[in-house]
Each structure stands twice: as C-alpha cells, then as structure tokens.
Structure 1
C-alpha cells in the first residue's frame, strides 16, 4: 500500500473543502435539503475530525435519519477504503473507495479524500466534506429529527463565546498536534509545541472550576476537544512529539477527559486499535517501520474522575443516548472499557481516602 508524505518544513493544513451544506431552507445554490434517509455519513473511527461527527450524530439520536458507513483505519495516498465491509464495498453506496463518491460529483477531483463526508445515497455523489459546519448543522438544521431529550450542543446564548473557544481549540490543539507531528524543521516544531502547551495550560485553568468548557452541560466545544484528548497518550505524545506531559499527568484535563469518556456517546465511539493503526501505519515518513505500539494501558480511562463535585450534568434537563445500534458498536477488543451493550462500563466506586486519583483540581 503506497503511502503519502506528510512532513513539511512548516506544516499548513489544506482547509479547502466542499462547502455545501444541508439546511432546512436549502435556499442557496450550494445548499441541500434536510431529508431523512437521503444522506450517508462516511467516517473512519481513526480520524478525530470524523469522530466529531460520530459523537454528535449519536448524542442527537440521528441514527435513523442519517446512515453511517465506516472506512477502515488505514488508507493509501489515493483514498479511504471500505475494507471493513464484506467484499470491500460499502453496503449502501456499493463503492470500494470514498474517492468514488468524490469523483461522481467532481470528476478528476484534485484534492485529498477526507472524512467525514456526507454522500447522497441515491446518486452516490459527495455532498460535503466540510467537517466544522457539518456538525453544527446536525445540531441546528436537523432539530426536528433529534431524539427526545437530545442536548442542545450549540446553544444560542453561548455561541459568540463558544466560537472563540472552539477556534482556539482548533488552531492550537486539534490542529496544533499535527503542526508538531508534521513539522519538518526544529524551528517549526518548537513554535507549534509552545503554542500547543500554552493552550493546554489555559484549558487546565479554564476547566479547574467548571465541569465543561462552556459551563454545566456538554456542548459542541467539548466534542471538539475530546477527540484530540482521547488520542493524546496513544498517539500524539510519542508519535507527534507532544511530550511535555502525558494527558494522564495533567490532573484537570485528565479528569475532564475521563468524565466525557464515561458519558454515553463519547467513550463508546473510541476505537483505540483503529486510532493507533492509522497514525503508526499510515505516517511512514514519521514511523518508517509501521510498527504499532502495544500500549498505553487503557485502564485509567475507567477510573473515577471526581468532577461531579463541580456540579452540572452532561445533558442538563435532557437524557443520555441509549446503547449504540448493534451494527455500529466498537469492537470491545479495541476498547476494553466497553460492556456487552456497547457502552462504557461505569467506574468502580471513588476512593474514600481523598486520594488524588479522584480529584479534578491540582
């Protein structure tokens, strides 16, 4: 399998996406109508950007409205592929490569083939791969199809502050780990490293006295930060050289990440085996041998986090999602914290001796 090259002297993410959107009004040339059953969300569990869409779709209960196809954890320089499915074909779209959906919409598509991608089922054409507005639209444009008790992940009164927080998290953390890992010069790496850790320190302070990024309930901002934190010790600390500390050595962020991981809709979407295979096998210019590490030990994700003391609750007046549909459950061999229903098993009782493992603060 031929792999692409990722390291650059000063890595800059290509942010040119197909900017079409799915909206209730569908009034513009690049807007498609909200219509249950019309679209298929194509993801890879390995990818943090796709993991956002998996979590939001699940939290909102959109499984019946938007089907989901899952690519394998690795890809070549040409495309993500459906190698997990029988005969290597997506069972709905009946294509072997996600690139085929891009080509049906844009013959000779010149850019990278990325997930998440929304594909129109009837035509097999790509609709959009613009991952940032995609999840916000699931919250705001598909509201009539949300499950009862679904959270408001993009509450109107908080949007101005949320947008600022999410922008900083994106540039300095979500993309910051890639700027470290793909840096081709010492100077670029050190500059990215400094910015990453300055923002992680800021997040430690912000979350020391509030349970979630925006206060007492989960929002899209938490989803966006979580997908990077879930991969931090397994990949970014070593593979991307983001190694000032492990996540498990940052008391506030580690407790916050465990709190989310143990919340239905978050940890049950994480496939640690896919995550590690993707980064260590695909990025051969960083890891030439393609050897995938056995560790780290994942048991810590299931320990008490102690953040109940900060008040709030994930879903406020709403309710958590139920177990994931059987066909969409992560293989428990890839995430040993999962129970037979596909949900993260509740942690053991918190320690009664005041030990630091249960404390969210420094």
Structure 2
C-alpha cells in the first residue's frame, strides 16, 4: 500500500492470549479517508484488532502499517492515531475546553496554538457554547462530542472508535450516527469503528469487515454484504433471515420440512444431493390470502404472531412445523389478522443457498436453522 496519510494496513496479523487465538492471520487494507467498521459478535477479535492499531496490544506475528510506516514496535503515543472509547473518560474537574486542551498541554504545545485548535475542535462537534461547562452538567451525547473533539484536536491521521455509542439511548445513538458520518466526510479523516450493532455499521460505513473467530468473513460495502452475503454466518448476522436445512437439487433445494426451493442465485456452488442451508430474508416474503398461481416459491401457513415496528409489521407465520418471520409495510392492504391462513411467496432470486457445513456456525451464533 502507498504511504498515503491515513492509510492502514494489517498483514498476516495474529494475536494470542494464552491458547486462545484472538486474531488469526488477519489481512486488511484501509484507504485514506475511509469509514471502515469492524463488525461482529462478542469475542470475534474486533476490539483486539483496534487495540493493536492503537498500540495498546502488540501482535504476536505480522505487520501493522499506518501511513506506510511499520508501527507494531512503536508506542501508542507516537502513532498518528487517537481513540474514542464507549466510556468517555473525561476529567470531571475540568471544563469542556480544558478536557479538549489536555493532550496538547501535555505535548508542550504553545498556548496560542492550544486556544486556536481547541476552538476548532469544539466547533467541529458543535460544542463551542458549552466550552465552560463540566462533564456532570452535560448529557451523554454532549459528553461523547467532547470525547470526539479531544481525540481530533491533535489532528490524527486515523481515528479509532471503540463502540463509542453503546452507552447512549436509541434515539440519541441514531442522531450521533448521522453526526459522526457527516463529521468524518467533512474532515476526510480515516475512521476505524468497532461495533456489534449492524445498524450502526450499515448506516455509517464505506466498507464493513465482518469478523468471526479472529478472521474476516466478508469485507465489502454495506449493500454488498447485505445483498450478497459470502457465508451463512454473514447472512444470519447482517439483517435477519429464515433458514432451512435440506439437500441441494438441480433447481435449488429440498428442505427437511418438505419445502421446495427454486433458487437462481446460489452463494456457493453446492452439488446436487449435498446438504444445504437455504435462507430467505423476511422482507422478501409476500403474504396473501389467495393461493398464488405463478409464484416460484410458496408455502402455506397460519399467522401466529404480529408485532408493530412503526411503519413495518412483523408477522410470525407457522408453516410446515416451523415459524417464519415476514416483514410487511404497514400500508399493505388487506392486512392479515392473527389466526388467518395465508400463503407466503418469494422469488427465486431472493433465495440464498449455502453448504450445510456452515449451518453449525449459524446456529451457534443464535440463528435457528
């Protein structure tokens, strides 16, 4: 990779804690000015990866380059990176301005320069009017903005964010997602964002690295990882899916419960007769009281549950001895009622087919198959 400011590269990076391999021969290149998220369940290695970039952990093998410079043997305070944590770690006895200025003072920056850069940083996060307040006088969202300003004030080439929105309520978290993305776009700084929340990753990222057991399962932009999951784990972790185990056929698959799948976009080349894992996303299933005449895939069931999520209705349809999740717009008419018999239909291009070798991974992560 070229030594462009803000570029990050991990080459065959491995980190062990005793017998446990936290990060396993990881390779990842991050471009200057990119917003990249490390997304995965607890214990997947995402935070360990971030800590190695920050210099808080040292890799047992491999190379880490920031701005083209090998940094695995360089202490954290000498790297051109700063980190924002979930717990803001603001000094309670200092004002907002004093908190933001702290790092510059420790570095011996001239007073006039400190004043200028603190003002710039507070303006970036729209906190200028609260410069004289103390942390206890601010909301969680305001404190998070101060933490971001403190991390940006010394103008790092890379900003590392370790689940920084996890302590905020949902509404505030959504507002901060928008603010962080706008800030990153405006500044052009490389952001590496760690989260287990797929909505955060999908809404802000240029690319997402989805991690499992210390390695990257898939790397791509949000649309690609959602529409074209590379593995059954990704299909189950990003968004929601209905899964069926079965065997591959010439046209798709035959599920264990007797459901016949016609598929036109298998994610893997699964030979006929081999055990398969089929998947269909809830929003790709249509409901109707009438039996379909031309549907490529259909199954009959009964509405056994209805949940309301604003402009979306979630139906649970019991069919073939199992429950299917179906998402429909609230505007759908007529709306099926609890206890109604319905037909569920979906197109061949909405069916994912994976080798059943991956079924154990999906179910281990809490997705029923």
Q: Computing the radius of gyration over CA atoms, which structure comes out larger, 1 or 2?
A: 2
Query: More strand by proportion, 1 or 2?
Result: 2
Shorter-chain TM-score tier? under 0.3
TM normalised by structure 1 equals 0.25
